[in-house]
Amino acid sequence: MKWRGLEESEAAQPASTLALELESRKTLAAQYVPLATQAVNRRTVEQLAASGILGGVLPVGAEAPSFELPDQDGNPVSSSSLLARGRLVVCFFRGRWCPFCVAQLEAMDRVTPHIQHAGASLIAISPQTQKQSFFMRDQHKLRFPLLSDAGNHVARQFGLVYKVPAEQQAIYAASFTNLPLLNGDPSWELPLPATFILRRNGRIAFASADPDYTVRPEPAEVLRQLSAV
Q: Domain of 71: which CATH number?
A: 3.40.30.10
Residue 94: CB partners within 8 Å, gap ≥ 6? 101, 126, 127, 190, 191, 193, 213
Predicted pLDDT at 111 = 97
pLDDT value for 16:
66
The confidence score (pLDDT) of residue 176 equals 87
Paired with 198 in beta bridges are 88, 204
Half-sphere exposure of 70 (CA within 13 A, CB side): 14
Please state the rounded mean pLDDT for residues 95-119: 97
Paired sense of beta strands 146-148 and 121-126, if any: parallel
Asked whether residue 31 is assigned to any structural domain, the reply reads: yes
Asked, for residue 24, whether it belongs to a domain, the answer is: yes
Check whether 8 has a pLDDT greater than 80.
no
d(CA 26, CA 139): 22
For the beta carbon of residue 176, count every other beta carbon within 10 angstroms: 9
pTM of the complete model beyond 0.75: yes
Decide if 33 is inside a domain.
yes
- Is 8 a domain residue? no
Summarize the confidence of residues 111-120 as an average pLDDT. Answer: 97
Residue 6: count of CB within 10 angstroms of its CB: 12
Predicted local confidence at residue 56, as pLDDT: 97
In-domain check, residue 6: no
Residue 3 confidence class, pLDDT cut points 50, 70, 90 = very low
Helix, strand, coil fractions of the chain, as percent rounded to 5: 45, 15, 35
Tell me the pLDDT tens digit for each residue of 149-167: 999 999 999 999 999 999 9
Residue 38 vs residues 28, 29, 43: alpha-carbon distances, Å: 12, 8, 9
**Mean model confidence pLDDT for the chain:** 93
Residue 103 lies in a domain: yes
**Residue 175 confidence (pLDDT) above 90:** no
Average pLDDT estimate for 3-18: 47
Count of beta carbons in the 10 Å neighbourhood of residue 175:
12
Residue 86's domain comprises 13-228
Q: How many domains does the chain have?
A: 1
